[in-house]
A and B are shown apart, each in its own frame.
Chain A
Amino acid sequence: GEDVEQSLFLSVREGDSSVINCTYTDSSSTYLYWYKQEPGAGLQLLTYIFSNMDMKQDQRLTVLLNKKDKHLSLRIADTQTGDSAIYFCAEFKFMTTDSWGKLQFGAGTQVVVTP
């Protein structure tokens, strides 16, 4: 199964808050990320949080991290139609070999913003 799990779909009304949830399994993960993928475009880094933080706020985005439960969430305040996209949670996993490391992605949450 996936190391990183997300719900697949979220519908939200314009102006409301969106909350996208993610669970991960690797307790040693140091860096956790949220990426956004708009239709026809590549992934774009939205925000990140270090494992020694509980919360990070960046304008309309708030990331909450519960290390005990290995739960990560992304809250988007005042959701706009331009926020309609797929949101991916990802953890960075260090490799035991001499390679650099890799991002482990969740399956992505499709967020649809309705007027």
Chain B
Amino acid sequence: SAVISQKPSRDICQRGTSLTIQCQVDSQVTMMFWYRQQPGQSLTLIATANQGSEATYESGFVIDKFPISRPNLTFSTLTVSNMSPEDSSIYLCSVPRTGATLLGEQFFGPGTRLTVL
């Protein structure tokens, strides 16, 4: 299994500011995923980040709002830019299980709980 850590675990931010969330994996992985979990709602995929290429964003998410870096095979950052209260969510990163034959078998980080005032 992969061990995934995220920083910060939680933060309270003022509207209009930006927050960068870090995701660290204890093994090298090609793909990393960033999800948003809004209160009482399902997890929604924000983007897929492959090392060495631009992140692929899902419908409704744009690079200017959620820039992603993927400098190496064990690390990624997600920035939530120009925040508003609607960005208050839990943000999670995940990676597929190495060698998984089950597409969709992913390991998740513990999440970053963001509150925007």
Contacts and interface: CB of A to CB of B under 8 A. Distances in A.
Contacts of B108: 42-44
B43 interface: yes
Given A8-B40, A43-B43, A33 B104 contact: yes
A45 B31 contact: no
B42 A40 contact: no
Query: Which of B33, B40, B42, B106 has the most chain A CB within a 10 Å cutoff?
Result: B42
A90 interface: yes
A106 B43 CA distance: 8
Interface string A1-21: 010100010000000000000
B102 to A, nearest CB: 6
Interface in A60-115: 88, 90-92, 94, 97, 99-103, 105-108
A88 B43 contact: yes
B56 interface: yes
B104 A40 contact: no
Given A42-B111, A43-B92, A31 B104 contact: yes
Given A103-B45, A107-B40, A107-B42, A90 B110 contact: no
B43 A105 contact: yes
Contacts of B11: none
Interface string B56-96: 10100000000000000000000000000000000010100
A8 to B, nearest CB: 7
A103 B42 CA distance: 11
Contact of B109 (A42, A97, A103): A42
A97 B57 CA distance: 12
Contact of B92 (A33, A42, A102): A42
Contacts of A40: 110
B105 interface: yes
Interface of B: 4, 31, 33, 40-45, 48, 56, 58, 92, 94, 102-111
